[in-house]
Amino acid sequence: MIIIGHKSIPLVKEIINAPCPNCGTSYNTEITVFQKYVHVFWIPYLPAGKTGVSECHHCHQMLKHREMTSSLLLAYKDLKAKAKIPLWMFSGLVLMLLLIVYGVNENKKKKAINAQLISSPKGGDLLEVKTDSSQYTLYKVYQVHGDSVLLRANNYQSDTESGIRELRDSAYSEEIRFLSKTDLKKLFEKGTVIGVERE
C-alpha cells in the first residue's frame, strides 16, 4: 500500500498597511503564504503550489486569497513572489532519482558479470532462460567440452522472471542438449539467456 498525501507549511508572514475589509483598521492585517507539497510515505516529494490567507489581529477576520480585496490581494501576490520554495521539498524526487541511478548501475554491473560468466561456462552453472512463449525456466550446464556446452533443461517453467528462483531445486531433464559457446553468447546478447548463477 502506498500512502500519498499533501500538506502545507507557512513560508512567510507579514503585517501590511492595507485596511481590514471588515473593521477598517490598518497595520493589523497579517498575510501568510503557505507552500503546499505532495508526500509519499510522509517523505516530501514535490512542491504543489502556494496559497495564502489574511487575518486581522483586531477583529480576527480570516480570508482565503480568493476572498481578499484588491489591496490585500496585491500584497499577497507580492509576498508570494518573494517566498522561496524550501529545497527539502524535493527530497522524495531526489531520493527516487538516486534509486533509479543506483538500479541502472547495478543492472549494468550484473550484465557485465553475466557476460563474463557466459563466455566461460562451467559445469553446475544455472542459466536463466526466457522461452519463445514468454515463460521462464532454468538450464543447468552439465559439462563443458572444448567449445561445446552440454545442457539439461528444467522440467518446469514459471510465468514470471521472479519465479525462476523457485525452480532451482526442481528436477532437470535427462535429455542432454548441445550448444557451442558462440551460440550461447548469441542467446545472451539476444536476451534469451537473461542471467547466470554460479555457486
Q: Tens digits of per-residue pLDDT, 118-163?
A: 999 999 999 999 988 889 999 999 999 999 999 999 999 999 998 9
Residues 71 and 15 occupy one common structural domain? yes
Are the C-beta atoms of residues 116 and 188 closer than 8 Å to each other? no
Rounded-to-integer distance, Cα 98 and Cα 33, Å:
31
Task: Find the angle CA(89)-CA(92)-CA(94) to the nearest 5 degrees.
Answer: 95
Residues 126 and 88 occupy one common structural domain? no
Are the C-beta atoms of residues 29 and 18 closer than 8 Å to each other? yes
Q: What band does 1 get if pLDDT is binned at 50, 70 and 90? A: low
Q: According to the model, what pLDDT value does residue 149 have?
A: 94
- Which of 13-17, 41-45, 142-146 is the least confident region? 41-45
The set of residues, in sequence order, having a beta carbon less than 8 Å from that of 186 and lying 6+ positions away, is: none
Residues 21 and 87 occupy one common structural domain? yes
Are the C-beta atoms of residues 118 and 189 closer than 8 Å to each other? no
Q: What is the 3-state secondary structure (H, E, C) of the chain?
A: CCCEEEEEEEEEEEEECCCCCCCCCCCCEEEEEEEEEEEECCEEEEEEEEEEEEEECCCCCEEEHHHCCHHHHHHHHHHHHHCCCCHHHHHHHHHHHHHHHHHHHHHHHHHHHHHHHHHCCCCCCEEEEECCCCCEEEEEEEEEECCEEEEEEECCCECCHHHHHHHCCCCECCCCEEEEHHHHHHHHHHCCEEEEECC
Whole-model pTM above 0.75? no
Residues 37 and 78 occupy one common structural domain? yes
Q: Is residue 176 part of a domain?
A: yes
Q: What band does 193 get if pLDDT is binned at 50, 70 and 90? A: very high
Q: What's the structural domain count of the chain?
A: 2
Residues 132 and 84 occupy one common structural domain? no
Grid cell 489574511 in the structure block, residue? 54
Residues 14 and 84 occupy one common structural domain? yes
Q: Is residue 20 part of a domain?
A: yes
| β-bridge mates for residue 12, sequence order | 33
Q: Is residue 60 part of a domain?
A: yes
Q: Is residue 150 part of a domain?
A: yes
Residues 9 and 76 occupy one common structural domain? yes
Are the C-beta atoms of residues 63 and 72 closer than 8 Å to each other? yes
Q: Is residue 111 part of a domain?
A: no
- The domain boundary, picked from 46, 76, 92, lies at 92
Q: What's the full length of the chain, in residues?
A: 199
Q: Is residue 101 part of a domain?
A: no
Parent domain of 40 = 4-92
Q: According to the model, what pLDDT value does residue 148 have?
A: 94
Rounded-to-integer distance, Cα 199 and Cα 155, Å:
21
pLDDT digits 0-9 by tens, 110-121: 999 999 999 999
Q: Is residue 110 part of a domain?
A: no
Residues 86 and 14 occupy one common structural domain? yes
